[in-house]
Amino acid sequence: MRVYRPESGRLVQREEPVPEPRRGEVLVRVRATSLNYRDLLILDGDHFTNGPGSLIPVSDAAGEVAAVGEGVTRFAVGDRVINAFHANWIGGRLPAAETLRGYGNGQDGWLAGYRAVSENALVALPDRLTFEQGATLPCAAVTAWTSLNGGTPLGPADVVLTLGTGGVSLFALQLAKAHGARVIATTSSPEKAAKLTALGADTVIDYRATPEWGKAVLDATGGHGADRIVEVGGPGTFAQSIVAAGTHHADIALVGFVGTGGAPVDFMDLFRSGATVRKIWVGSRDDTEDLVRRLAVRPIEPVVDSVHPFDDAGVAFERFRSRQNLGKVVISGA
Ligand SMILES: NC(=O)c1ccc[n+]([C@@H]2O[C@H](COP(=O)([O-])OP(=O)(O)OC[C@H]3O[C@@H](n4cnc5c(N)ncnc54)[C@H](OP(=O)(O)O)[C@@H]3O)[C@@H](O)[C@H]2O)c1
């Protein structure tokens, strides 16, 4: 089978044997994968790794069951599946050291023709979603789901603030709108603003044209501010997010750090906001199953920017790195 492994910051394709599923394992024929910010960090050597040698990259995949090992009961040959982002987190609290076993940084990931994993590390993919759409779910969509559904449940009258047009933020926008919430979204260009409006954003703020966008959120909500903030910008955005939170005990899902150069966070601003800050770790398999069940009942179309052939995985990575993409960058199976 064909696989990619990184060598000196470049993806190199190799031929390797198809793995044999052991007892309790399922052999998945990978039909599509999708990229996340962490995949760039890992390729560039900017993410901790904890595995032997050069690990197969990419954490998110959809495929079909090609064979099952002895004792497997959850899946049969031909079933359509996606992986859970964390292979060993079924529910409850994140198991200790699970982040050291991540796909691509602690064990081989999914940019390969086949992958054998525990049957417990997989979730059934509903028929209404294509493999390309399914591959967009394990990291970005589940993160958006837990950002909105962890802590206090999302209320239909809540104001949700999303930042930028990355994978997590677009799913958060779509899921929040499907729930009936009001969404305020930020972005950096008029073209992307138009796309956010088309996806249902009620208010869009250009964070480059309006550096004090936290104040703009307050203005747009009559001084109330956002009830829930999906915080993907980190150092570049957190201080403005605190402003946008107002003073009414907002829920801030602390997701990522794509932004740079923001002002330091003033402790008293955070204190006065009354905000609850929750660190997100994507989500468990239970969270992934809840999301998939929800999508089967109330569908949303994952936004796919582009689908690249397996042989062009390097092009897919460059497309994602360019930030010209709007939506998930997908790579077809080998
Ligand atoms: N904690 C977790 O469980 C978890 C899970 C998933 C992801 N993450 C993290 O969350 C972050 C987002 O991940 P992703 O995969 O969605 O990233 P992504 O798709 O690479 O997001 C890129 C987008 O971020 C936006 N952006 C950059 N700087 C910004 C700023 N200052 N303000 C607002 N938006 C800004 C840009 O949107 P515009 O082009 O519209 O400006 C850009 O297109 C990453 O840091 C990732 O590591 C964490």
Q: Say how many Å lie between the CA of residue 37 and the centre of ligand 1.
A: 7
- 189-224: burial string, b at 16+ Cβ within 10 Å, e else: eeebbebbeebebbbbbbbeeeeebbebbbebbeee
Return the ligand 1 atom nearest residue 170 CA.
16
Backbone angles phi, psi at 313, to 5 degrees: -60, -35
Tell me the pLDDT tens digit for each residue of 202-250. 999 999 999 999 999 999 999 999 999 999 999 999 999 999 999 989 9
Return the ligand 1 atom nearest residue 258 CA.
45
Where exactly are the structural domains of the chain?
A: 2-136+302-332, 142-279
Q: Tell me what pLDDT residue 153 has.
A: 84
Classify domain 142-279 at the CATH superfamily level.
Answer: NAD(P)-binding Rossmann-like Domain (3.40.50.720)
- Those residues of the chain that have pLDDT short of 50 are none
Fold of 2-136+302-332: Quinone Oxidoreductase; Chain A, domain 1 (3.90.180)
pTM flag (> 0.95): yes
Q: Say how many Å lie between the CA of residue 322 and the centre of ligand 1.
A: 13
Per-position DSSP letters for 253-308, written without gaps between them: EE------SPPPPPHHHHHHHT-EEEE-----HHHHHHHHHHHHHS-----EEEEE
Q: Tell me what pLDDT residue 156 has.
A: 85
Q: Is the CB of 166 inside a 6 Å radius of any atom of ligand 1?
A: yes
Helices 285-297 and 142-149: crossing angle in degrees, nearest 10, is: 90
d(CA 38, CA 33): 14
Q: By alpha-carbon position, which residue is closest to atom 26 of ligand 1?
A: 164
Q: Say how many Å lie between the CA of residue 279 and the centre of ligand 1.
A: 15
